[in-house]
């Protein structure tokens, strides 16, 4: 699937960005407290380059020795590059993900050969265990552990303190083999620094890390945890991808990267960790050890409430000789998660079409916090079809259970164009007939607009042309210019008005 070079680590990807003029180094001192986020945010809004803050400073203007990398995935082009491909080839990866969810047996030798790229990618997920790793060039354990050496940002004025925002958190189920990387869970969960050797791990109950923690604590044992900071782009994006539960994010990264993932035994916990990461944090989560987390600015554009989450006691920090610290911020879109979400929306489309074939396109508006609202275009052929599609989408993938508004339009409407959507709503939708309301359905508990935490209503709007028993009136006919006249007009304008852009 790859059509770009292999990026074995973050530095290789940064080097590739640099050759394209897409990496900018800022040598001026920039405070880790609020100012760095302000710079990052304005650069992202202008679709700017990856940023390397060479001289980050804390609130007292004490020099921090580790440079900060930000805005890594601030454009959709760089997200695609992190996946190993140009934007125009993204659909191939979407088809691959769809095949992982619903694989079909090959039909003879010819079919096997046609699927060889997929088979090769699957084989590439087998991890390669190494004895020495760049991520363990320097090691600090016990009393030498100090999270204060890492230039962790405090992003927003109302934040409770420093927050790690791009960690790849690795966990495994109780009773599993530490060497069975294929059964690891990798997730991106934010982590609040609350001391020299303590972090608060904010994983929600339905996430893989929390499920693993419950299995360890049920046995009355602390859970080992490893956090990779500054992993290679394939590992970073695999940890954020909505993969099937049977697919390990860490090993799937090998398929994306085009090479087997390299792992090494952790120094202080029974875990394997990425050999090519910039920084590794190791530690334990003990039963009953929790602390109040937050408040922190979130992807909704508001500060979330303070709640208790598990504490990780750090037992070791290892890193490269001259490490880099990868960071980002979350806030009201646009931010890096919303940019990544737009790309992942395209990747999900083949999976969605496989389950609901009449869907032609789907758009999750980034301004609506990505998944909170969906606009779907369908090939409509029978009454009630729009409502069936709404119900199907809400129940299909976990992330769509949090989508509180769905607008369904016909396939002559561009679901990514607000003017088209407004026209369909204004001319094809009657509020009394075409609005469906649901009550007490699952919702992201961060959505404080919900009447109850974790439970909220949903709205579905049918903005399609009404057919059959859906209407008793004669439906209007859409006005369109004849194709021949459209072609004539385009040719005439090109010849007579050459300065008028199409």
Dump the DSSP string for 127-185. -EE-S--GGGSEEEEGGG--GGGS---B-STT--S-EE-SEEEEE--TT--TT-GGG-E
Domains, the chain, with CATH or none: 10-326 (2.30.110.10), 356-470 (3.40.1670.10)
At residue 120, does pLDDT exceed 80? Answer: no
Percent of the chain predicted with pLDDT > 90: 73
Range in 13-22, 337-346, 371-380 the model is least confident about = 337-346
The tens digit of pLDDT for each residue in 464-490 reads 999 999 999 999 999 999 999 999 999
State the chain's mean pLDDT as an integer.
91
In the annotation, is 298 catalytic? yes
At residue 101, does pLDDT exceed 70? Answer: no
Whole-number Å distance between alpha carbons of 326 and 153: 10
User: What is the pLDDT at residue 104?
Assistant: 58
Of 232, 298, 434, 462, catalytic: 298
The SS3 assignment for 242 reads coil
Give the confidence band of 396 by pLDDT, cuts at 50, 70, 90.
Answer: confident
Is the CB of residue 463 less than 8 Å from the CB of residue 434? yes
pTM over cut 0.85: yes
The tens digit of pLDDT for each residue in 414-467 reads 999 999 999 999 999 999 999 999 999 988 877 888 899 889 999 999 999 999
At residue 15, does pLDDT exceed 80? Answer: yes
User: What is the pLDDT at residue 106?
Assistant: 55
At residue 234, does pLDDT exceed 80? Answer: yes
User: What is the pLDDT at residue 61?
Assistant: 47
User: What is the pLDDT at residue 96?
Assistant: 78
At residue 412, does pLDDT exceed 80? Answer: yes
Residue 334, preceding peptide bond in cis (omega within 30° of 0): yes
Give the confidence band of 109 by pLDDT, cuts at 50, 70, 90.
Answer: low
Tokens describing residue 385: 């079809």
Is the CB of residue 238 less than 8 Å from the CB of residue 245? no
At residue 338, does pLDDT exceed 80? Answer: yes
Q: Which residues contact 349 (CB under 8 A, 6 or more apart)?
A: 94, 359, 361, 362
Residue with tokens 């003017």, as numbered in its chain: 419
At residue 100, does pLDDT exceed 80? Answer: no
User: What is the pLDDT at residue 251?
Assistant: 78
């Amino acid at each position: 699937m790859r059509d770009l070079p292999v990026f074995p680590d973050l530095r290789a990807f940064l080097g590739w960005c640099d050759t394209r003029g897409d990496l900018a180094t800022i040598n001026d001192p920039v405070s880790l407290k609020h100012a760095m986020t302000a710079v990052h945010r304005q650069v992202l809004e202008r679709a700017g380059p990856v940023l390397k803050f060479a001289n980050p400073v804390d609130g007292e203007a004490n020099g921090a020795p580790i440079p900060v990398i930000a805005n890594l995935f601030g454009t959709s082009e760089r997200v695609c590059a992190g996946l190993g491909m140009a934007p125009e080839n993204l659909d191939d990866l979407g088809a691959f993900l769809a095949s992982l969810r619903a694989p079909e047996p090959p039909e003879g030798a010819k079919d096997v050969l046609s699927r060889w790229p997929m088979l090769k990618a699957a084989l590439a997920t087998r991890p390669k265990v190494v004895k020495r790793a760049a991520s363990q060039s320097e090691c600090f354990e016990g009393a030498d552990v100090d999270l204060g050496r890492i230039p962790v940002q405090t992003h927003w004025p109302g934040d409770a303190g420093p927050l790690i925002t791009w960690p790849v958190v690795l966990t495994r189920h109780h009773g599993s083999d530490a060497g069975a990387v294929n059964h690891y869970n990798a997730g991106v969960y934010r982590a609040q620094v609350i001391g020299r050797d303590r972090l608060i791990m904010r994983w929600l109950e339905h996430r893989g890390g929390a499920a693993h923690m419950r299995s360890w604590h049920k046995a009355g044992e602390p859970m080992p945890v490893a956090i990779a900071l500054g992993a290679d782009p394939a590992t970073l994006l695999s940890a954020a991808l909505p993969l099937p539960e049977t697919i390990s994010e860490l090993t799937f990264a090998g398929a994306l990267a085009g090479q087997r993932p390299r792992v090494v035994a952790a120094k202080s916990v029974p875990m394997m960790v990425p050999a090519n990461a910039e920084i590794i944090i190791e530690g334990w989560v003990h039963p009953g050890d929790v602390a109040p987390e937050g408040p922190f600015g979130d992807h909704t554009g508001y500060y979330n409430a303070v709640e208790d989450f598990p504490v990780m006691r750090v037992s070791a920090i290892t890193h490269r000789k001259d490490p880099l610290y990868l960071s980002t911020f979350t806030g009201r879109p646009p931010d890096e998660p919303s940019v990544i979400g737009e790309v992942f929306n395209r990747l999900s489309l083949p999976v969605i079409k496989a389950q609901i074939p009449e869907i032609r396109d789907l758009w999750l508006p980034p301004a609506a916090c990505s998944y909170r609202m969906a606009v779907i275009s369908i090939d409509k052929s029978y009454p009630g079809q729009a409502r069936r599609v709404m119900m199907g989408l809400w129940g299909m993938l976990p992330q769509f259970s949090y989508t509180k508004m769905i607008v369904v339009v016909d396939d002559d409407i561009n679901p990514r164009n607000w003017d088209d959507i407004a026209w369909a709503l204004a001319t094809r939708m009657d509020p009394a007939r075409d609005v469906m309301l649901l009550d007490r359905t699952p919702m992201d508990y961060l959505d404080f607009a919900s009447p109850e935490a974790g439970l909220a209503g949903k709205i579905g709007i049918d903005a399609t042309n009404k057919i059959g028993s859906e209407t008793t009136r004669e439906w209007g006919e859409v006005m369109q210019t004849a194709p021949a006249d459209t072609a004539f007009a385009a040719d005439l304008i090109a010849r007579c008005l050459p300065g008028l852009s199409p």
